[in-house]
Structure 1
Amino acid sequence: MADLGRLTDALRQDGGTVRESGPEDAVDGVPATAVARPASADGVAAVLREATAQGLVTVARGAGTALDWGAPPERVDLVLDTTGLDRLVEHGAGDLVVVAEVGLPVAELLEKVGGAAQELVVDLPPARLAGGSTVGGLLSTGASGPRRLQRGGVRDLVLGATVVLADGTVASSGGKVVKNVAGYDLAKLLTGAYGTLGIVVRAAFRLHPARPDRAFVIGSGPLADVAGRARDVVASQLAPAAVEIDRPAGGDVAEVAVLLEGTGAAVGQRAAAAAELLGGRVQAEPPAWWAELPGDSARSTGGGSTGGVPRVELVETGGSTLVKATATLTGVAGLLAAARDAEQRYGAGVALRGTAAGVLYALVTGSPEATALAVGHLRAAAPGPREGTATVLRASREVRAALDAWGPVGGLDLMRAIKRQLDPGRNLAPGRFVGGI
């Protein structure tokens, strides 16, 4: 049981707060005991030191827009609310670098660097941005959007971080920091680790100059044809900023959207060449589903048609499961085919959307049994860490009980060894990450 008095004393100099938890503080259905909201990195260190001394399990939380991703923690004694650390520490516009605390909303960071005609190219789903998704949540989930094709994912953009370990030790790695820890690149190691190795309190990111002109090329067709044409665009000399595929649940047809960015007339020329290669049309605005996770936009849940892609309305009988499916560039066609085949075999709906380079998100709807079989079918099309994976991000208890959320993962022994070294008492979100880490 958490001793709130001692936790409060730990934050006395910091000015942070501690309170009893309420129903709204549960983490993916797991109730919490207390909530601490420090106001500085020193406060995070102090409260983690005290929490670990009490043997408490701590789960970090920002805006909570993806707190139900991954697996539920084994238990939650303390929710560490990071929204008190919300400063933009430094914007080195000349160096294309920004340093921010983890409680800063990503939308606010984008607005501030946008004033210098720069951007952090992460393309979070609009629903997460609108919900106040923070820098910490961005790092914890490692999520990236359409333009990762050209600019890389979050792990490629983070330059360094200041991290507080479970025992209150403050460590730093990478660029724009004072002290470095030999051995691990902590910034990249903690990206996508769901808060199970340490709590990032500050991070530095690489920025890119904003490109003022853009054009979209939209095409559609049978699944295999769309995958092949999208692959041709990715491999072309047109340097697309993004090539996205959207296959609605129940459809034999998919849509592909190509984003070209740059300056002046060259963008239009490249767009025309892409339209010829794709067999599509050029337009100024993205399709309605652009950068959305399947299920977040009306197009994923309604009937009718958009962009010439027929819609088949499927009845949800057991809720929706969000899956991140990866594949090689040539394996995307297999994922599209597997989604359609899973529907026909098991009666589940499988909407699939994401980059043609091989990072897609699937929304699977149906009974827990049908969902588990459909996810297994996607995993068979992406059969291993080198060829691709299918990871369950969000699901009901019944679905999670029917399958392993993470599936086959390479290097699990090494991951567990790192967990033992950085968090030997398993005080940070145990159970949330792969292999029960």
Structure 2
Amino acid sequence: MSGEDQQARVEADGAVGALAASGVPVRPGADRDAVGGVVPRWVAEPADADGCAAVAAAAARDGLALVPRGAGTKIGWGAPLRRCDVVLDVSALNRVDHAAGDLVVEAGAGTPVEDLADVLGASGQRLPVDPVVPGSTVGGVVATGLSGPGRMLYGPVRDLILGMTVVRADGVAASSGGRVVKNVAGYDLGKLHAGALGTLGIITSVTFRLRPVPPAAHTVSARADDPARARELVASVQRSHTAPTAIEVDRPAAGAVTVHVLLEGPKDGIRARADEVSSLLPGSSVSEDLPEGWGELPGGPGDTLLKLTSPPARLPAVLDALAEAAPDAGPLPVRGSAGSGVLFSALPSATDPVNAVRAVASLRARVEEATGGHGSLTVLDAPRPVHDAGLDPWGTVPGLPLMRSIKKNLDPDGVLSPGRFAGGI
């Protein structure tokens, strides 16, 4: 079907007349546009933030459910949508405004993180957010709240946000922080929308604080025979004065755990710091390169992706729980930050859906028990059959009534990514 035929089909549909009248290109949804297995009725492709606002306003008038999309690398994350009428493609929003002298950048939501890194790197600067999912866009990273190894030193992505512009469910643009003067409705949009999975608004641009690119970096790696020994190695580094950027653990399956310590800083002194860390990790090696798989999520396509948080001191108990979580799947891989207590794991795609649901529930209970109620397990992504088998992606969510109140305030008709977040938000 030609582009003109597609547009004619859209305009012929009375229910989407307002969308077509917005002036934004709109086409029928196709299989490649599916969100969690649900093919949208239409896909709108605005060229700028004003176009996003026009589509949102038109969708609101017709009561259409709207789902923002950048590169689509994490489009299925969260719970299944209750409905999906319009996918709003923000990939054209890729403008970058870099104020190098202020160590600040404003980037459109559709900007690929790798492209942003190239722009900043030309000025010797960087956004210290690891692209743990290749191909991610700025909007996708913020909407999922995903942070990699650098989280230990620089904090999660939400802490790097100076300002943000979003389009509300009614099509009104709102900005806060950064280069604007006035906050909107008393909310810190950066904190509010980071990790909200597009359920509170459509992110159109984000302003970040930046860091200089470190002149030098070394990675010290050591193997530990069991989780308890891995924790001892991590604790020894944390007690030192070496100021690591990240302390990561990596275990492909049961058995040995590899501890990686990333050090960054001036060339003078970096080797001495690496040698000091190496002295704390018997049998370790030192490299100027990052280890293979650095910052990447474990698992593969079709796996059930898990995120576990716990106090760093409870690392051995969490690793032990992962080794025993799924009897039919074997020990689970784990990778993540031992320094900040954020780990990732994955149930293999071959796991029976019912058994996957049981494994998640069992592991969640084990994590909560092992951490004295201070840990959690959420399911970031899962195949539709696992969801249909009764998966609870979130578990107990503190503050859920407040979240519902905020959702009702910002999206009273529940048209933004409906059902994708905790509690059916």
Tell me: CA distance 1:265–1:348, structure 2 relative to 1, closer, same or farther (3 Å): same
Q: Check if 1:4 corresponds to 2:16.
A: yes
Q: Residues of 2 paired with 1:209 and 1:85: CA distance?
A: 25
How many angstroms does 1:347 deviate by? Answer: 4.4
Q: Deviations over 1:389-424 (max 9, x none)?
A: 111111122322332011111100000000000000
Residue aligning to 2:274: 271
Residue aligning to 1:380: 365
Tell me: CA distance 1:46–1:347, structure 2 relative to 1, closer, same or farther (3 Å): closer
CA contact 1:247–1:336 (8 Å) conserved in 2: no
Extract unaligned runs of 5+ from structure 1: 302-318
Secondary structure at the counterpart of residue 94 of structure 2:
coil
TM-score of the aligned structures, taking structure 2 as reference length: 0.91
Residue aligning to 1:311: none
Residue aligning to 2:118: 111
TM-score of the aligned structures, taking structure 1 as reference length: 0.89
Secondary structure at the counterpart of residue 3 of structure 1:
helix
Residue aligning to 2:203: 200
Residue aligning to 1:230: 234
% same residue: 47
Q: Residues of 1 paired with 2:197 and 2:337: CA distance?
A: 23
Residue aligning to 1:370: 355
CA contact 1:161–1:177 (8 Å) conserved in 2: no
Tell me: CA distance 1:38–1:2, structure 2 relative to 1, closer, same or farther (3 Å): farther
How many angstroms does 1:342 deviate by? Answer: 2.0
Q: Check if 1:402 corresponds to 2:385.
A: no
Residue aligning to 2:249: 245
How many angstroms does 1:346 deviate by? Answer: 5.3
Q: Deviations over 1:277-313 (max 9, x none)?
A: 12222122222121111125xxxx9xxxxxxxxxxxx
Residue aligning to 1:332: 315
Q: Residues of 2 paired with 1:339 and 1:367: CA distance?
A: 17
Secondary structure at the counterpart of residue 350 of structure 1:
coil
Q: Check if 1:135 corresponds to 2:138.
A: yes
Given candidates 24, 38, 48, the residue that maps to 2:56 is 48
CA contact 1:102–1:135 (8 Å) conserved in 2: yes
Q: Check if 1:186 corresponds to 2:189.
A: yes
Given candidates 305, 318, 333, the residue that maps to 1:351 is 333
1:14-25 equivalent positions in 2, closer than 5 A: 16-25=24-33
CA contact 1:162–1:177 (8 Å) conserved in 2: no
Extract unaligned runs of 5+ from structure 2: 1-12
Q: Residues of 2 paired with 1:245 and 1:172: CA distance?
A: 38
Q: Match of 1:101, as an amino acid?
A: G
Tell me: CA distance 1:236–1:375, structure 2 relative to 1, closer, same or farther (3 Å): farther
Q: Residues of 2 paired with 1:2 and 1:336: CA distance?
A: 55
Residue aligning to 1:310: none
Q: Match of 1:325, as an amino acid?
A: L
Given candidates 92, 95, 118, the residue that maps to 2:99 is 92
Q: Residues of 2 paired with 1:38 and 1:178: CA distance?
A: 27
Tell me: CA distance 1:107–1:359, structure 2 relative to 1, closer, same or farther (3 Å): same
Q: Residues of 2 paired with 1:179 and 1:111: CA distance?
A: 31
CA contact 1:71–1:432 (8 Å) conserved in 2: yes
Q: Residues of 2 paired with 1:411 and 1:217: CA distance?
A: 40
Secondary structure at the counterpart of residue 371 of structure 1:
helix
